Amino acid sequence: MNSSMKKILFADDSPSMRLFASLSLSDEFEVDTACDGEDALKYLKSKDYDLFIVDVYMPKIDGINLVKKIRENENSKFKPVVIISTEADENLFTKGRDAGATGWIVKPFDKDYLLKTVKHILFGKGRKSDEK
| Interval 6-37: pLDDT, tens | 999 999 999 999 999 999 999 999 999 999 99
The C-alpha torsion from 50 through 53 and 20 to 18, rounded to 10°, is: 100
Could you give the CA distance from residue 10 to residue 85 in angstroms, rounded to a whole number? 13
Write the DSSP string, the chain.
--TTS-EEEEE-S-HHHHHHHHHHHTTTSEEEEESSHHHHHHHHHH---SEEEEESS-SSS-HHHHHHHHHHSTTTTTS-EEEEES---HHHHHHHHHHT--EEEESS--HHHHHHHHHHHHH-TT--TT--
CA dist 46 → 40, 62, 83, 118 (Å): 10, 20, 21, 22
Convert the pLDDT of each residue in 77-102 to its tens digit.
999 999 999 988 889 999 999 999 99
pTM for the whole thing? 0.91
Domains of the chain: 7-123 (3.40.50.2300)
Confidence of residue 4 (pLDDT cuts 50, 70, 90): confident
Displacement of CA 33 from its chain's centroid (Å) = 9
